Amino acid sequence: MQANSMQFIETRGNDGQRPLCVPFSDAILNPMSSFGGIYVPESLPQLGLPFLEEHLDSDYKTLARAVLDAYEIDIDAEVIDAALSRYDDFDDPANPVPVVKVTDNLYVSELYHGPTRAFKDMALQPFGVLLSSLAQSREEHYLIMAATSGDTGPATLETFKNRANVKVACLYPDGGTSDVQRLQMVTEDADNLKVIGIHGDFDDAQSALKSLLSSETFRAKLKEKQTHLSAANSVNFGRIIFQQIYHIHSYLELVRQGAIELGEKIYLNVPSGNFGNALGGYYAMKMGLPVMKILISSNSNNVLTELINTGKYDLRERSVIATSSPAMDILKSSNVERIFYDLYGAERTKELMLSLDNDKYYELTTEETARLQSIFCADYCNDKEVNRYIKQAFDNGYLMDPHTATCFKSHDSCREKALKSIVYSTAEWTKFSPTIANALTGEVDTHDIDALKSISEVADTPIPALISELFDKPIAQGAVIDKENIESEILSFLE
């Protein structure tokens, strides 16, 4: 364990009630900070080209270990090694994140080769080991809250199931996920897991999560049950720290494949909902990864496109639009706050975030907008365009999910230079099969199981057993409730 470990500070400043800074272990066990803010590292490690050169031949776990070491987090080495060993359960332990060439300038970093077939495994599989180990070493019991638009939930449940000193309550919008995503959650039967469908959308689930995380009365009720509260969403920096590694790995893969020279700049192209994936890229860039710009790809819930292009974040007349890329059906992106803290400081961040909470609106100054645009470029892709890009890529030999497809539009519209671009593919085709089947064959209103079969046939690729088995598993978690009843549902689960 590090003697002088890195400290974490608060995005909205300090309220005088909490410590001015905390170590990593405290920041991940208690992720919410003063005034409803979240934690960020006091400074970022500087890696630079010598670090990249040193790890040109490193496997993924070795690279991950080196990045975590650079952060000097207060976690024992053997716990970190145990956490990173979760990557051994991916399709190819030697290369858990394949980077595949699709066109001359576009490479896809496939982040979905873990147990739940989505990119959330990259961060959540090791994170579960860290948090459970901390709870056991402190002889404390934790309730881990998660709100999901479809992928965080299955990955959280998978990493925490049957782990000591931890229980999980996972909220998802009923009807707001794919069949496969829902089945991955509701068929989980471990005693320490509770899955709760809510009448509402992801923003309702996330707001309920943040409200409970900040609620002193809820904490007091948990305290009576000798239980502490934490979260598995990307408000937790324990998620973000692992989401920086695959950006560095993907860059090194391009060097290894001879696509670029070491030091050459590239574009990172990220399908963005809650902005954690993009934030990981931003931190990697600040730590020394040669990045020209980060392209933010959205669906018709294009608040991030508007923010980056106009400096305005306006939810006053907006409600969530259901799209074919539901993991991005989000209007309040939590991790924008960490970018703002880094660019504009705590006082301005607090002002902007409270304005969004209270007035559903904020506007950046011209100078602030220009700073944002110097790092990010954004576009969005509607469902019809998503289908077209899925079909086009398939005709060129590449099968992708709808979230990945949104990036192909940004690739066409946002790049100012003909540099190589890494698109981050966040989910396997199996997670959103009706949309893909519609794009490839024209079939409509297909159930997941039928769509999976038709894609498997058209693409001549097998349905992974992890997915096909879901349809025969019994439903173990049937709760669907109004959001007002979330707290009582969770408390009764803890009895």
Domain positions in the chain = 99-117+239-472
Q: What gap in Å lies between CA 332 and CA 324, rounded to an integer?
A: 19
The two three-digit tokens of residue 1, written as one number: 């364990």
pTM, two decimal places:
0.95
Amino acid at 77: A
Torsion over CA: 251, 252, 255, 256 (sign): negative
Other C-beta atoms within 10 Å of 318: how many? Answer: 13
Q: What gap in Å lies between CA 335 and CA 206, rounded to an integer?
A: 13
CATH class of 99-117+239-472: alpha beta
pLDDT by 10s per residue, the chain, length 495: 444 789 999 999 999 999 999 999 999 999 999 999 999 999 999 999 999 999 999 999 999 999 999 999 999 999 999 999 999 999 999 999 999 999 999 999 999 999 999 999 999 999 999 999 999 999 999 999 999 988 889 999 999 999 999 999 999 999 888 899 999 999 999 999 999 999 998 889 888 888 898 899 999 999 999 999 998 888 899 999 999 999 999 999 999 999 999 999 999 999 998 899 999 999 999 999 999 999 999 999 999 999 999 999 999 999 999 999 988 989 999 999 999 999 999 999 999 999 999 999 999 999 999 999 999 999 999 999 999 999 999 999 999 999 999 999 999 999 999 999 999 999 999 999 999 999 999 998 788 999 999 999 999 999 999 999 999 999 999 999 999 999 999 999 998
Of the candidates 98, 87, 121, 114, the one whose C-alpha atom is nearest the C-alpha of residue 467 is: 114
For residue 223, with 0-12 CB atoms within 10 Å meaning exposed, 13-18 middle and 19 or more buried, which class applies?
A: exposed
Q: Which residue has tokens 């919410």?
A: 32
Q: What gap in Å lies between CA 198 and CA 3, rounded to an integer?
A: 44
Q: 334 with 277: CB under 8 angstroms?
A: no
Q: Which residue has tokens 């980056």?
A: 308
